[in-house]
Chains A and B, each alone.
Chain A
Amino acid sequence: MRLFRKKRTVDDELREEIEFHLRMRTGLNEREGMTAGAAREAARRQFGNATRIQEEARRMQINEFLETLMQDLCYAARSFRRTPGFTFAAVFAIALGIGATTAMFSVVDRILFRGLPYAHEDRLVWLGMGAPIGRNEFLLGPDYLEWRDAQTPFEAFTSSHGENDCDITENEPVRARCGRVEWTFLPTLGIHPALGRNFTREEDSPNAPRVGLLSYGLWQSRFGGNPTAIGKALRVDGDPITVVGVLPRDFEMPSLARVDLLLPQALDEAAQRKREIMAMVMVFARLKPGVALAQAEAALQPLFERALQFVPPQFRKEVKLKVSALRDRQVRDARLASWILLGSVVCVLLISCANVANLLLARAASRQRENAVRAAIGAPRARLIRQMLTESLLLSVMGAFAGLLLAHGLLRALVAIAPEGIPRLAQAGLDLRVLLFGFAGSALCGILFGLAPALQRPRVEALTGWRVAGGRPKRLRHLLVTGQLAVSLVLLTAAGLLLQSLWKLQNVRLGMSPESVMTVALSLNPHRYPQPPQQRAFLEALEARLAGLPGTASVAFADSVPPGGRSMVTIYSRIAVEGRPDTRSAGTGGMVVGRKVTPGYFSVLRIPILRGRAFREEDRLSGTGTIILSESLARRMFPNENPLGKRIRPGVDGQWGEVIGIAGDVKNAGLIGKDDPEYYEPMIFTAARGRRRANVIIRSAIQFLELTDEIQSLHGVQIIARLLSPAKQVRALQKLLALGAAAGPR
């Protein structure tokens, strides 16, 4: 509006000024003897087109910027159309750089830069005792209660019992993840339910009527996002709970675990304090304002020392107090990797910028004449620079559009091929923030590569048509090429190192052969299969059915599958050998993996039995106690003896068993982890010991999709829907290998 008004006054002024001029000229003409009319006419004729002058002045005043821009853009577009080869090459180079950078940025943005969805996230910490036995630091129930009451550096202190599988058992049963948390959990994180309320202190006690909060996703899928869900009852593992609230859409557990339901952990505080039963909890807390992490850690030290007295002596040396900022704890090693990845794609972007700059320089050389002519007929130098910059910006905007399309595709590919364990990968997407980053990047790139040719001074000599060998642009191009070479070398080295480690991973000695082996993780509904005999009957029927499938070479069950899975981990010093003194006080001796398997396990995975024999059917039925050791465990436990026939007992509450065989070592701590020794026990189904969860391992020639269909159809789809969670995990073991590489031991 103001611009418009300004234009009006400028017009008026100019009109008045011209009018004055005409009158003066008319007066002059009259004095020279013309008649009034003729004098006016002559003055007007001499002045020329007043409107044109007015327009010219107006353009200069107001629209000059936009008009120049349009003019430059049109000119640029025309010249690009004339040189499609150049244009395509340049846009392609920019698109590659911007695409890669934007895609990578959208992945690492969540890890490095974006805030966590909690209030005062910078003051949230995850603390506990770190022990080699678990990946997550924890506190034992009684210690937690003591710390909660005695701690000073935190304004809020809460715990979570973690997450486990639970079944929502109604007419449409589904497998869900239930998180169990203290009633102070949500307030500590600063989260308000999207609907309803948090549960109260009274509801978070052992004998209170059960309540729960739905995740936003479950609320949508189960109740169609209807607010009347509040107050409804839901059967979880057969027990009714009342829905009191719905979690916000962007809610996530600080451990990044998936949860569908949040239930009170209902810790029996009295029993915990007596150390009769001890729960393991994860502890989250919010620092008081102004308290540093190190201060908090120092303040917790006395409490830690006291808690250490209750720790079994062989553990003491290996237990550490860990207090870490929540964000750092969540991303762990992903931080460095993220910076490296981002750095390398920025290198790619720089290279593509340099490439485009080089292209533009080459083009500028051929346009020297044009520029010299334009300078000669009056184009100021700034105008020429502006023209060149407009051209390069137009290029970079076109490149950015192509690049963002590319980023969209790349991102999908990245998410699809990425191994598990990259935090927040699923949330990565091209939102406004990422788009802005992409455009800012390309604009910067455009100015960078546009400036190089623009700053070349147009040379008058170019007018002559002689080739001009300029010193400066040549040097600039040399510099660009040198820089490109240097950056490429860095990238190449990094890529080479990566490839080498990838090659090593691919060729790592697994100790087994995963080709055409598939695994299915299943767990039985406790209400449909409550008793061990029913569970056993189902699993045995499943085994027989799968073994009878055409194409199946062998079938086995195990409670976990290498290299990533490990459900039982014990410590070396807890394994007793018959006839030897107790070694339990001499440190932990490191981790030992235990696995329960059916007799077919070794043949399915082709794990060699080096000495003795594999399990037989009768080992499974008799329950007399047989054990197979891995080679490394046997060598360590019986260095100069024949291990066969020895009797050992894994764990204090374990069963004595006779060593009947030695199996080859298998990668069992993830692909990159150091192997742990391992022992195998037969998976026994007896009347007393049932089994709700198992991994089916099949060596088969058929596709794994057909296999899932087969399992689904086993007892009719309806029954199976109750057996397998909707998120049933069927995956080829080879895919599992990739996961093991990223996630390590779990």
Chain B
Amino acid sequence: MRESSGNTLQGTLDLLILKTLDRGPNHGFGITLHVQTVSDGLLRVEEGSLYPALRRLERDKLVIAEWRVSENGRRARYYRLTAAGRKRLAQAEENWSALSKGVGKVLRFA
């Protein structure tokens, strides 16, 4: 259904989510925490975008969700990458590095 390339802005959040889940299944809160920590607080995933994005990824069968008991004993919805999600991640990473390389060059030049 959806195009894999183009739509870069929307794609960035997807990339962050997919990359986080690549480390292993996680829940929504874990994803925000991870992105925030790893980026040293530079990037913050907004909850208002995160959950719709997760649903969308789930609908597109890039991730699978299941209820599990979390480390602190509460029920949480865990997301896990599918094969298609992994493939999409590889693509998105490639696109991103190309883009950032390009933008970087332009910035350095100017």
- Is the contact region of chain A dominated by helix, strand, or loop, or is it mixed? helix
- For residues 57 through 79 of chain A, which have their beta carbon under 8 Å from a beta carbon of chain B? 57, 60-61
On whether the beta carbons of B47 and A380 are closer than 8 Å, the reply is no
A41: CB under 8 A from chain B? no
B41: CB under 8 A from chain A? no
A-B CB contact pairs (8 Å), 23 listed: A13-B77, A16-B75, A16-B77, A17-B76, A17-B77, A20-B29, A20-B75, A21-B28, A25-B29, A48-B46, A49-B48, A53-B51, A53-B52, A57-B51, A57-B52, A61-B55, A61-B59, A378-B7, A378-B10, A380-B1, A380-B3, A381-B3, A382-B3
- Which residues on A sit within 8 Å (CB–CB) of B51? 14, 17-18, 53, 57
- Which residues on A sit within 8 Å (CB–CB) of B48? 47-49, 52-53
Task: Name, among A17, A375, A380, the residue most crowded by chain B CB atoms within 10 Å (CB to CB).
Answer: A17
A24 to B72, CA, bound (A): 9
On whether the beta carbons of A24 and B29 are closer than 8 Å, the reply is yes
A49-B48, A53-B47 given as contacts; is B9 within 8 A of A17 (CB)? no
A647 to B6, CA, bound (A): 101
- For residues 32 through 68 of chain B, which have their beta carbon under 8 Å from a beta carbon of chain A? 46-48, 51-52, 55-56, 59
- For residues 636 through 676 of chain A, which have their beta carbon under 8 Å from a beta carbon of chain B? none
A207: CB under 8 A from chain B? no
- Which residues on A sit within 8 Å (CB–CB) of B23? none
CB distance from B1 to the nearest CB of A (A): 6
Mark contacts of A35-50 with chain B using CB atoms, 8 A cut-off: 1 yes-contact digit, 0 otherwise: 0000000000011110
Closest Cβ neighbor of A16 among chain B residues: B75
On whether the beta carbons of A378 and B9 are closer than 8 Å, the reply is yes
- For residues 727 through 742 of chain A, which have their beta carbon under 8 Å from a beta carbon of chain B? none
Closest Cβ neighbor of B52 among chain A residues: A56
- Which residues on B sit within 8 Å (CB–CB) of A48? 46-48
CB < 8 Å: which of B2, B6, B46, B77 contacts A20? B77
- Which residues on B sit within 8 Å (CB–CB) of A53? 47-48, 51-52
CB < 8 Å: which of A23, A46, A382 contacts B2? A382
CB < 8 Å: which of A17, A46, A52, A380 contacts B7? A380
B108: CB under 8 A from chain A? no
- For residues 55 through 110 of chain B, which have their beta carbon under 8 Å from a beta carbon of chain A? 55-56, 59, 70, 72, 74-77
On whether the beta carbons of B2 and A380 are closer than 8 Å, the reply is yes
A61 to B48, CA, bound (A): 16
- Identify 6 new A-B residue pairs, CB closer than 8 A, beyond the known A25-B29, A53-B51: A20-B27, A21-B47, A47-B47, A48-B47, A61-B55, A378-B7
CB distance from B39 to the nearest CB of A (A): 17
CB < 8 Å: which of A20, A25, A378, A380 contacts B76? A20
- Which residues on B sit within 8 Å (CB–CB) of A375? 6
Closest Cβ neighbor of A54 among chain B residues: B51
A53 to B29, CA, bound (A): 15
